[in-house]
Structure 1
């Protein structure tokens, strides 16, 4: 459900999206969730839903579901060595990628912690 919510919410202007994200992030958290299970859930659901759940909705969902953990950072990067614009989003915790399979060729241009 979270993945669908974030896919739809991306249609909003960024300022409204960020306000909404910060507002819902104050909701209670189930502390029994483990990071590995959440990441696996998001990857699995992203593969079976027909709406093209790319790296950004998946990264936003993981950040939301792991909001009680410190050092969760969404990174957005661009690929500079091509003629077409390519971007990618991934999530890191303690400088380790947990979803998004960060390709070292992407230059990070924005972090959201």
Structure 2
């Protein structure tokens, strides 16, 4: 079966609410990609902070958090342009914006033998939600976006 056939069969198996989460993730990724492309980063950061700031909090069930992370990753892989770790982390942070203790982390790989490599991920209380990496790689946090 082709890759698009696999995606289609997976789509058909999703519940209505899972399809809605997937569509929200895809739209969020598209908007974030556009905003990162056209806006200077300080303006994007201020705008994104305003959109993700919430006075109310909501705990999400682990299954829903996992579904959102899967939807973001899958939509990022399907969309016809490159969406690396930062847009994925930003989309996840936005979709889970009411979840307390959620942070977007940005770091650099700790390996003097390699060229500079940055990475973004989202975690809650030290547990990575999206943007995990192999155990053979180590990242040093540079910035935490709460």
TM-score normalised to structure 2 length: 0.68
Cα displacement string for residues 40-89 of structure 1 (whole angstroms, at most 9, x for unaligned residues): 11011011112111000000000000001001111111113134111110
**Does the 8 A contact of 1:78 with 1:109 survive in 2?**
yes
**Cα offset, 1:96, TM superposition:** 0.2
Moved over 6 A (4+): none
Quick one: distance in 2 between partners of 1:112 and 1:25?
A: 11
Distance in 2, Cα, partners of 1:102 & 1:67? 23
Larger radius of gyration: 2
Question: Is this contact kept in 1: 2:53–2:97, CA < 8 A?
Answer: no
With normalisation by structure 1, the TM-score equals 0.86
- CA deviation vs aligned residue, 1:5-47 (integer Å, no higher than 9, x gap): 11121122222101211233368x9x78821211111011011
- SS of the equivalent of 1:4 reads helix
Matched with 1:18 is 45
Is 2:90 aligned against 1:60?
yes
Contact 1:90 1:102 in 2 (8 A): no
Q: Which runs of 5+ in 1 are unaligned?
A: none
Structure 2 gap segments, 5+ residues each: 1-26
**Which is richer in strand?**
1
Structure having the higher helix fraction is: 2
User: What is the alpha-carbon root mean square deviation over aligned residues?
Assistant: 2.2
Residue aligned with 1:10, SS: helix
Match of 1:110 in 2: 143
